[in-house]
Amino acid sequence: MAVTAAQVKELRDRTGAGMMECKKALVETGGDMEIAIDQLRKSGLAQADKKASRVAAEGKIALATSADGKKAVMVEVNCETDFVAKDGNFNAFADAVANNALQHGPADVAALMLTPLGAATIEAARQALVAKIGENIQVRRFESRSTSGVLGSYIHSGKIGVLVELTGGSEELAKDLAMHVAALNPKFVAEQDVPAEFIAKEKEILIAQAADSNKPADIIEKMVSGRLRKQLAEITLHGQPFVKDGDITVAKLLEQNGAKVVGFCRLAVGEGIEKQESNFADEVMQQVRGG
């Protein structure tokens, strides 16, 4: 029999399970709502989606790299607690997501969630894992790079991931630069990459800060220029002292190795997610009540 959208909505509202799981259960049970509910409860999918409102700011950056080293993908998969972030099932899922992103090259996270994993999809596997572990789990974002040059990657404790693409240089240099980006978090490759509006805004702030110094205008201009140069050096990869040798800048290191940075990307777990501050006793009670 044909399953209507209204039936799927009702089952979803009553169980909290995913839309596709609800539709599948209704089809398999011939549209019998109560049997479909029982089936979802037995499979552990009922209530799984109701955990989706919880903040998931912990997790893992998973990396997948092609055999020739010319393409790599990093994926951020989130959970609620660091305890689950160390769980074997969670880590296996995160690695599978990264491998799918590398293999299928999806346009976005929505497309990635529909890629196959075993007999199901990434999304179905996510929902099953939510039901098994009892925490909100989300595939948040991914970054990928492919090159005809040199690609370096670095994952720090599963919490920070970096990809760096070079022309020239070596794999060792690319990895060293990926470690540098992980540690010092530059925002841009070089000064010329910094947007003009960003520079104008920072200069305006510096001028306002220097206005109370009672120094002549030409001295203030020199002060502002010096401080701006220092600030640009701090936020650009080229301007930063190399993390493994503070006596040289990254720009000088690249020059010495005949290399150029094409670009880089950096992911940090939970970056930009507002974490909830909760009472531990309340968390325990919520778990006891099956929240």
Structural domains of the chain ordered from first start: 5-46 (1.10.8.10), 54-146 (3.30.479.20)
- Please give the Cα distance from 48 to 137 (Å, whole number): 10
Which pLDDT score, from 0 to 100, does residue 282 have? 55
Q: What is the pLDDT of residues 8-61, one digit of tens each?
A: 888 877 776 777 888 888 999 999 988 888 777 666 655 555 566 577 889 999
- DSSP-derived 3-state class of residue 255: helix
* Runs of H (alpha helix) within 46-195: 82-85, 88-104, 109-113, 122-133, 171-184
Contact indicator for 41, 15 with CB cutoff of 8 Å: yes
Q: What is the pLDDT of residues 174-222, one digit of tens each?
A: 999 999 999 999 999 999 999 999 899 888 888 887 877 778 878 878 8
Q: Return the axis-axis angle of helices 196-210 and 217-235, rounded to nearest 10°.
A: 130
Amino acid identity for residue 111 in this structure: A
Report whether 164 contacts 180 (CB < 8 A).
no
Q: Summarize the confidence of residues 111-115 as an average pLDDT.
A: 96
Instruction: Kindly report the average pLDDT of the chain as a whole number.
Output: 88
Other Cβ atoms less than 10 A from the Cβ of 101: the count is: 25
